[in-house]
């Protein structure tokens, strides 16, 4: 009798009545665990991220990498150089992840192959150097260069590219806060990285981008990175990231990889000896006309 009572099934929920509180708490906490963010800790969103290729930087980025559903701002003192060295590992990973699988010959297999999403370069300050970009792991087929002179055209091209769910690297030095907010809204429905390169002085302006970084040249081949804005506590200090280009690294010796010491003060010239006195005019040098 006791065994029959102990093995009796639990009471079924009565229709129309709320379930027990204990059954609600567990799934509710599981659902909200990835969406709950405390200001004292890094945000751990359920949105996908792209590893940056730098372990020290990923440890400071919410989600452990570049966000794929948000705008990332890079503030540099001189655009056109530092952003490539910082983003090359992630962009290379982004393109390699889309590599076509080996398919059997046939029209049906080719039709089923997924379309590769390119990287759009909008308003770059210099003409893209294809051999250098290939050395960074970005093939020519992955790049589309969009030239737009007017700020309105640059903004329109960036917005359309983000809506098309392709990777975007746009140089927008004159973008206003309301325009960046518009791009951020478009990025919420995309799963591709979107980077905006702006002057370092733009850090004094407000921005809707959830991630903003200041990138400066460091000693040797390093990059100094400061997280100006992120979903989490304020970032103190700077990160020193080794960013030697892949084509240059085999050519560097151990001494060249380290920062060179600052040159010391130049030695002061030795005082000139005073001229010897001559006894008479005959001992002086004769000047010829």
pLDDT digits (tens, 9 = 90+) for 227-248: 999 988 888 899 999 987 665 6
Flag whether 16 is in a domain: no
Domain annotation covers residue 271:
no
Is 140 within the bounds of a domain?
Answer: yes
| 157 within domain boundaries | yes
User: Residue 235: inside a domain, yes or no?
Assistant: yes
Q: Please return the burial class of 93, using the count of CB atoms within 10 Å of its CB with bins 0-12, 13-18 and 19+.
A: middle
In whole numbers, what is the pLDDT of the chain averaged over residues?
Answer: 76
Could you tell me which residues come within 8 angstroms of residue 109 by beta carbon, excluding any fewer than 6 positions away?
A: 103
Backbone CA torsion sign across 214, 218, 221, 225? negative
Residues 6+ apart with CB under 8 A from 42: 60, 61, 62, 63, 230, 231, 232, 233
Q: What are phi and psi of 58, to 5 degrees?
A: -60, -30
Query: How many Cβ atoms sit within 10 Å of the Cβ of residue 230?
Result: 18
pTM: 0.70
pLDDT in tens, 20-76: 444 444 454 555 555 555 555 555 556 789 999 999 999 999 999 999 999 999 999
Residue 49 makes CB contacts below 8 A (sequence gap 6+) with 61, 63, 64, 65, 66, 67, 68
pLDDT in tens, 175-226: 999 999 999 999 999 989 999 999 999 999 999 999 999 999 998 889 999 9
* Angle subtended at Cα 186 by Cα 180 and Cα 187, rounded to the nearest 5 degrees: 85
Question: 58: part of which helix (H) or strand (E)?
Answer: helix 55-58
Residue 254 lies in a domain: no
Domain membership flag for residue 84:
yes
Domain of 203 in residue numbering reads as: 47-96+116-247
**Tokens matching residue 111:** 């039709």
Instruction: Give the chain's domain count.
Output: 1
Is residue 156 a part of any domain in this protein? yes
Question: Residue 192 is part of a domain; what is its CATH number?
Answer: 3.40.50.300
């Amino acid at each position: 009798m006791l065994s029959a009572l102990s093995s009796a099934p639990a009471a079924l929920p009565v229709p129309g009545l709320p379930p027990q509180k204990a059954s609600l708490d567990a799934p509710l906490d599981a659902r909200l665990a990835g969406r709950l963010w405390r200001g004292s800790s890094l945000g751990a969103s359920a949105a996908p991220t792209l590893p940056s290729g730098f372990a020290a930087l990923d440890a400071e980025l919410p989600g452990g990498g570049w966000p794929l559903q948000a705008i990332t701002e890079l503030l540099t003192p001189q655009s056109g150089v530092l952003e490539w060295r910082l983003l090359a590992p992630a962009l290379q990973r982004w393109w390699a992840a889309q590599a076509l699988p080996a398919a059997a010959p046939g029209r049906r297999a080719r039709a089923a192959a997924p379309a590769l999403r390119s990287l759009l370069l909008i308003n770059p300050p210099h003409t893209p150097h294809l051999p250098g970009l290939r050395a960074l792991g970005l093939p020519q087929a992955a790049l589309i260069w969009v030239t737009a002179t007017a700020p309105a055209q640059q903004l329109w091209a960036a917005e359309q590219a983000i809506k098309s769910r392709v990777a975007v690297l746009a140089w927008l030095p004159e973008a206003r806060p309301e325009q960046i907010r518009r791009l951020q809204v478009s990025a919420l429905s995309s799963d591709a990285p979107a980077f905006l390169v702006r002057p370092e002085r733009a850090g004094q302006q407000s921005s809707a981008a959830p991630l903003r970084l200041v990138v400066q040249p460091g000693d040797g081949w390093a990059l100094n990175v400061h997280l100006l804005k992120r979903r989490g506590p304020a970032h103190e200090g700077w990160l020193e990231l080794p960013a030697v280009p892949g084509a240059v690294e085999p050519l560097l010796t151990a001494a060249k990889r380290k920062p060179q010491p600052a040159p010391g003060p130049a030695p002061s010239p030795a005082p000139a000896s005073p001229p010897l006195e001559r006894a008479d005019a005959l001992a002086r040098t004769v000047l010829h006309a």
